């Protein structure tokens, strides 16, 4: 563009061979924006991103937008397409490199027998059907200038391919990649892809050669280059990776340069030989080592640029070649249907029968066949190579593109229908019948006892900052051997507990089962290739994960049995994954750190790194918490950490050296959640350094001496100072929040039964003379009455606990005996702040009242088992 630009009368959309960047930017921005909007529309239908990119390319092409007068000449003029084609092919080389990196040879070898047989069955039948279809396509839609053997092989390859990259994402999103069906489909698709690329190399060599002998030489040269890459290039790459530390710390800049240069050199060699350049990128990707984090790291460095920029451009070019108007009569549509049926039935029947031979059930076999029929992205790449090489013409190209779209779109709904969640669970029970019976027996016994043993605990650890509080809590829950404990007056921190100021010697004897802690780390699965690679390699990833390693070391040093598990799943499946992990591990309680309003987070803006209090509960946190409460049917605790155990005094004259010294406060109102909270506090008392105060508060209509009114203190002396109580408007949650009235018992019969259960539990622990805890000086129980029950509970907590201690409250949102709503509203008015409706609905009125009062201690919100 000449100097002066638009001021000189230059039109930006006019193609200028000397400076084509302006039109190129217009084209790329239009392509990216349009395909991303389509992806937003199609994502709720569980369609992979490639579908939106392909459809977007078709819409931007001559089939739809191309019918607008002047559109194609202005936006996509013929002379500008070589530049788009160059950018697309560079991206395609890099993408095929990533596809090769995704193919972990170890994963293939684990299920080699079944994978090879399933893959061979599908390829053989599809290739046979494709060969038969090619006769009709060749006779009806070509001018017969192309050699029929080349055409036959190409159509056979195009019908036999399975899109490994797209299939991996579909399996991940459907949560079946770890099932026997998912493993079989994924490993078989790898074999399909490798075989298809070899056959495609043969086709390209035949097309680009003047005679069959030359084609043979081209193919042999390609094989020779593969041998050189495997025997010479791979060992050198591995040595460089180790030498630069890229296997431990991710790829360095120099190692990234070397790797990408190797990819481009390999692409140059295969292109020079006479085979397409993308095969060179694929070959180098396959030899990348998966030990350590190098494979994932190199993918993370380049995948975003490829997915955001290069691939949409490639599919737009593909769309410019696709003319749906050529499907203009019944004969063409009849062949479209025949091609689709042959492509799907070949995979479903061929792969399904071989899966049945490998002892999968019929439904599992059919599901594997449907998965293997997914064509997706790789199919379109092959079709474009065939089109550019003049193997197929415009009409056959359109027919095959429609087939690729339909088979990919149908993959998710068909598998969901055939291989439903209920059926998967049924098969899990069948395959693990013995463990399932043990679990059912254990749950039945616990229901009779109506108490949680807390011998198996599931904790969710997604952030490093969650570790200290969770370590402290797990240490408190771990039963210790018989020991002698000295309790002092100042350990309890309340005169009314009635403990003498002189030291009291207590013999601590624990008969509880040893604690088994299942640590669950959940990583969000997004549409990034590296996330899917992490999913496929999660068994190795968990060995390198810093959070799991620190927690395992903590367990080793403190004699806690830690069993770590790492799951990579879409965010909307987080709650369901927690529920499934509870069932798989037989856990009796789940504890999850609270990440919403009231939690303490690091402030990156503050130069001193002073932590700040989070003000509002995000939509994601609300949806996850409500999902956990709805789907998990064991005791649940959300821990709001404000420094649990930090600053505890070293206890003297004790036979152990953990140094913990924590006081627990529980306001008891009654109901399922409060009873569970009391059982949890009792379990904490098994640790000899824990003391507790339990106050049963009965709400009255008449004023009492215990009444109190909470008011906000001077903001300069409060521990925290929220700056805003405004709550933004939010879209509906994935899990609906229920209203308060649904949580309060309205039936007199239910209220009486709940009251009776409260009395039985309290008598069991605190009955005069024979209560289990009546003679334990480390816990004090008392009953009080108050017309301001909620405010009294909070006020007593402020007097009893400090920042290192713990407040335990029942969530009070299932079958509660009283409602705190009116009093809670008064508290909000008095303090002039709120943490938002989402916080109250997640944690309950009482927990948010503690947060609003700016109490400095940590809080654990308990929901009991939904019996």
Strand 612-613 relative to strand 600-601, pairing: antiparallel
b/e for 792-806, b at 16 or more Cβ within 10 A? bbbbbbbebbeebbb
Q: Count how many Cα atoms sit within 13 Å of the Cα of residue 501 in the half-sphere of its side chain.
A: 1
Domains observed in the chain: 13-425 (1.20.1530.20), 435-722+735-863 (3.40.50.12370)
Asked if the model's pLDDT at residue 167 lies above 50, the reply is yes
Q: Count how many Cα atoms sit within 13 Å of the Cα of residue 789 in the half-sphere of its side chain.
A: 23
Average pLDDT value for residue range 404-427: 84
For residue range 37-69, list pLDDT tens digits in order. Answer: 888 888 777 777 778 888 888 888 888 888 888
Q: How confident is the model at residue 598 (pLDDT cuts 50, 70, 90)?
A: low
Distance (Å, rounded) from C-alpha 193 to C-alpha 731? 42
Backbone φ and ψ for 716, nearest 5 degrees, come out as: -80, -15
For residue range 122-152, list pLDDT tens digits in order. Answer: 889 999 999 999 999 999 888 887 788 888 9
- The candidate with the shortest Cα–Cα distance to 510, out of 453, 591, 461, is 453
Contact by Cβ (8 Å): 451, 578: no
Average pLDDT value for residue range 102-107: 70
For residue range 440-471, list pLDDT tens digits in order. Answer: 444 433 443 345 566 789 999 888 888 888 88
Distance (Å, rounded) from C-alpha 96 to C-alpha 94? 6
Distance (Å, rounded) from C-alpha 26 to C-alpha 513? 68
For residue range 694-721, list pLDDT tens digits in order. Answer: 999 988 888 888 888 877 655 433 433 3
* Bigger pLDDT: 329 vs 535: 329
Q: Which helix (H) or strand (E) holds 98?
A: helix 81-102
Backbone φ and ψ for 63, nearest 5 degrees, come out as: -70, -35
Long-range Cβ contacts of 346-349 (<8 Å, 24+ apart) = 346/122, 346/125, 346/126, 346/128, 346/129, 346/130, 346/159, 346/160, 346/373, 347/122, 347/125, 347/126, 347/162, 347/372, 347/373, 348/372, 348/373, 349/125
- The candidate with the shortest Cα–Cα distance to 263, out of 477, 62, 90, 437, is 90
Contact by Cβ (8 Å): 203, 154: yes
Distance (Å, rounded) from C-alpha 568 to C-alpha 188? 22
* Bigger pLDDT: 293 vs 365: 365
Q: Which 3 state secondary structure label does DSSP give 135?
A: helix
Contact by Cβ (8 Å): 38, 56: yes
pLDDT averaged over the chain? 78
- The candidate with the shortest Cα–Cα distance to 849, out of 724, 711, 738, is 711
* Bigger pLDDT: 397 vs 445: 397
Dihedral sign of CA atoms 316, 320, 325, 329 in order: negative
Strand 589-593 relative to strand 456-460, pairing: parallel
What's the confidence (pLDDT) of residue 176?
A: 77
Cα distances (Å, whole numbers) of residue 761 to 677, 679, 700, 756: 12, 9, 22, 9
Q: Which 3 state secondary structure label does DSSP give 855?
A: coil
Asked if the model's pLDDT at residue 488 lies above 70, the reply is no
Average pLDDT value for residue range 160-184: 77
In the numeric block, which tokens belong to residue 151?
């055409």
Asked if the model's pLDDT at residue 725 lies above 80, the reply is no
For residue range 825-853, list pLDDT tens digits in order. Answer: 777 777 767 777 778 888 888 888 888 88
Contact by Cβ (8 Å): 405, 55: yes
Which single residue is written with the structure tokens 């521990």? 719
Average pLDDT value for residue range 732-738: 40
What's the confidence (pLDDT) of residue 222?
A: 86
Q: How confident is the model at residue 485 (pLDDT cuts 50, 70, 90)?
A: very low
For residue range 287-316, list pLDDT tens digits in order. Answer: 888 777 788 888 888 888 888 888 888 888
What's the confidence (pLDDT) of residue 7?
A: 62
Backbone φ and ψ for 14, nearest 5 degrees, come out as: -80, 130
């Amino acid at each position: 563009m000449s100097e002066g630009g638009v001021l000189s009368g230059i039109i930006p959309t006019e193609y200028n061979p000397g400076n084509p960047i302006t039109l190129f930017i217009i084209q790329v921005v239009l392509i990216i924006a349009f395909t991303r909007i389509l992806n937003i529309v199609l994502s709720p239908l569980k369609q992979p991103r490639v579908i939106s990119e392909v459809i977007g390319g078709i819409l931007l092409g001559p089939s739809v937008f191309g019918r607008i007068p002047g559109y194609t000449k202005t936006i996509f003029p013929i002379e500008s397409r070589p530049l788009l084609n160059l950018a697309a092919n560079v991206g395609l080389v890099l993408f095929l490199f990533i596809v090769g990196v995704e193919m972990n040879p170890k994963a293939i070898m684990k299920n080699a027998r079944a994978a090879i047989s399933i893959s061979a069955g599908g390829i053989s039948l599809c290739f046979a059907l494709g060969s038969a279809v090619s006769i009709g396509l060749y006779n009806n839609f070509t001018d017969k200038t192309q050699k029929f053997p080349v055409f036959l092989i190409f159509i056979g390859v195009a019908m036999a391919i399975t899109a490994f990259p797209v299939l991996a994402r579909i399996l991940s999103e459907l949560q079946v990649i770890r099932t026997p069906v998912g493993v079989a489909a994924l490993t078989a698709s790898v074999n399909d892809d490798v075989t298809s690329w070899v056959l495609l190399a043969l086709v390209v060599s035949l097309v680009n050669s003047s005679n069959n002998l030359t084609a043979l030489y081209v193919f042999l040269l390609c094989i020779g280059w593969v041998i050189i890459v495997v025997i010479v290039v791979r060992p050198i790459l591995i040595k460089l990776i180790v030498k630069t530390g890229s296997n431990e710390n991710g790829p360095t800049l120099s190692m990234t340069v070397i790797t990408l240069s190797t990819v481009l050199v390999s692409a140059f060699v295969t292109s020079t030989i006479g085979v397409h350049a993308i095969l060179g990128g694929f070959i180098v990707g396959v030899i990348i080592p998966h030990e350590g984090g190098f494979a994932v790291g190199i993918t993370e460095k380049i995948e975003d640029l490829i997915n955001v920029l290069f691939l949409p451009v490639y599919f737009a070019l593909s769309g410019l070649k696709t003319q749906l108007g050529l499907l203009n009569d019944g004969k063409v549509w009849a062949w479209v249907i025949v091609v689709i049926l042959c492509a799907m039935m070949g995979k479903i029947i061929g792969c399904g029968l071989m899966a049945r031979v490998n002892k999968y059930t019929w439904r599992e076999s059919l599901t594997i066949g449907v998965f293997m029929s997914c064509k997706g992205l790789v199919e379109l790449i092959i079709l474009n190579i065939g089109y550019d090489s003049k193997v197929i013409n415009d009409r056959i190209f359109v027919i095959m593109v429609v087939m690729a779209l339909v088979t990919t779109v149908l993959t998710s709904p068909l598998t969901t229908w055939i291989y439903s969640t209920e059926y998967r669970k049924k098969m899990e029970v069948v395959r693990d019948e013995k463990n399932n019976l043990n679990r059912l027996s254990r749950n039945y016994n616990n229901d009779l006892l109506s108490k949680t043993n807390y011998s198996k605990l599931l904790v969710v650890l997604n952030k490093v900052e969650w570790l200290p509080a969770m370590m402290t809590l797990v240490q408190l829950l771990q039963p210790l051997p018989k020991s002698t404990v000295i309790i002092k007056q100042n350990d309890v921190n309340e005169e009314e507990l009635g403990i003498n100021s002189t030291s009291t010697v207590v013999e601590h004897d624990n008969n509880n089962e040893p604690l088994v802690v299942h640590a669950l780390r959940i990583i969000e699965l997004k549409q990034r290739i590296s996330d899917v690679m992490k999913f496929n390699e999660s068994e190795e990833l968990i060995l390198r994960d810093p959070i799991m390693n620190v927690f395992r070391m903590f367990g080793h040093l403190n004699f806690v049995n830690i069993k770590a598990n790492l799951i990579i799943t879409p965010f909307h499946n987080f709650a369901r994954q927690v529920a499934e992990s509870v069932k798989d591990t037989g856990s009796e309680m789940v504890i999850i750190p609270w990440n919403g309003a009231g939690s303490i987070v690091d402030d990156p803006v503050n130069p001193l790194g002073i932590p700040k209090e989070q003000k509002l509960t995000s939509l994601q946190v609300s949806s996850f918490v409500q999902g956990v409460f709805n789907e998990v049917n064991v005791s649940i605790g959300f821990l709001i950490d404000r420094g649990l155990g930090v600053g505890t005094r070293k206890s003297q004259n004790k036979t152990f050296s953990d140094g913990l010294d924590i006081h627990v406060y529980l306001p008891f109102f009654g109901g399922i959640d409060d009873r569970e909270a009391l059982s949890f506090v009792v379990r904490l008392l098994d640790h000899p350094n824990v003391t507790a105060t339990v106050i049963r508060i009965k709400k009255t209509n008449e004023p009492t001496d215990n009444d109190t009114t909470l008011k906000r203190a001077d903001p300069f002396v409060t521990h925290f100072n929220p700056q805003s109580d405004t709550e933004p408007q939010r879209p509906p949650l994935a899990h609906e929040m229920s209203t308060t009235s649904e949580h309060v018992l309205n039936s007199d019969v239910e209220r009486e039964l709940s009251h009776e259960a409260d009395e039985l539990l309290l008598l069991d622990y605190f009955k005069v003379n024979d209560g289990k805890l009546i003679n334990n000086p480390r816990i004090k129980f008392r009953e009080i009455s108050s017309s301001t029950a909620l405010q009294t509970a909070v006020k007593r907590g402020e007097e009893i606990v400090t920042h290192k201690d713990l407040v335990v409250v029942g969530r009070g949102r299932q079958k509660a005996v009283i409602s705190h709503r009116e009093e809670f509203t008064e508290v909000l008015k008095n303090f002039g702040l709120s943490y938002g409706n989402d916080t109250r609905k997640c944690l309950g009125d009482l927990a948010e009242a503690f947060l609003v009062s700016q109490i400095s201690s940590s809080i654990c919100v308990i929901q009991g088992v939904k019996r």
